[in-house]
Amino acid sequence: MFTRQPVAGLDVERRDWFHGTVIALVGRLSGDDAETLMAVAARPPGPHGRILLMDLSRLYLATAAGVDALVATVGALTGLGYDVRLANPQPLVRTALFLADPPSTIAVYPDLPAAYAGGEDGRIDDATQFRI
């Protein structure tokens, strides 16, 4: 079951699965959410793995500062040894994400099944590869 942590404009849902943790971001992401995003994401994942899937399917808006916070969070977690995968960003979020030109080490997938599978084949390399 998801646990929920409401934040002004952002709702974070987290659940453990057999290979790691799924973190769903719901609503709007701004720079004000940086500390909360890092705190929620940095909680130790379940006992089964070090994979963190960030489900962006219900994140409908991200400011430039919000995208910067997301990229910083992913970078910090990757530095701690987590395999962080972003999945299913919506049109406005995907545009903001790719305009921010995140490092190529950040894995973005078109949907959760592709993110679960991982690997290079399912990754989205630029904004033109998204389905609308």
Q: For helices 64-79 and 34-42, what crossing angle results, to 10°?
A: 30
Q: Which two tokens stand for residue 29?
A: 């992401």
Query: Could you give the CA distance from residue 88 to residue 58 in angstroms, rounded to a whole number?
Result: 9
Task: Return the pLDDT at 132.
Answer: 37
CA distances, 29 to each of 58, 71, 97, 101, 123 (Å): 11, 12, 12, 17, 23
d(CA 42, CA 95): 26
Q: What are the pLDDT tens digits along the chain (132 aa)?
A: 555 554 458 888 988 877 788 999 999 999 898 888 878 766 766 666 788 899 999 999 999 999 999 998 888 888 888 889 999 999 889 888 888 888 877 888 998 888 888 876 666 665 444 443
What CATH number was assigned to the domain covering residues 3-129?
Answer: 3.30.750.24
Sequence spans of domains, the chain = 3-129
Distances from the Cα of 15 to the Cαs of 20, 23, 62, 100, in angstroms? 9, 7, 22, 28
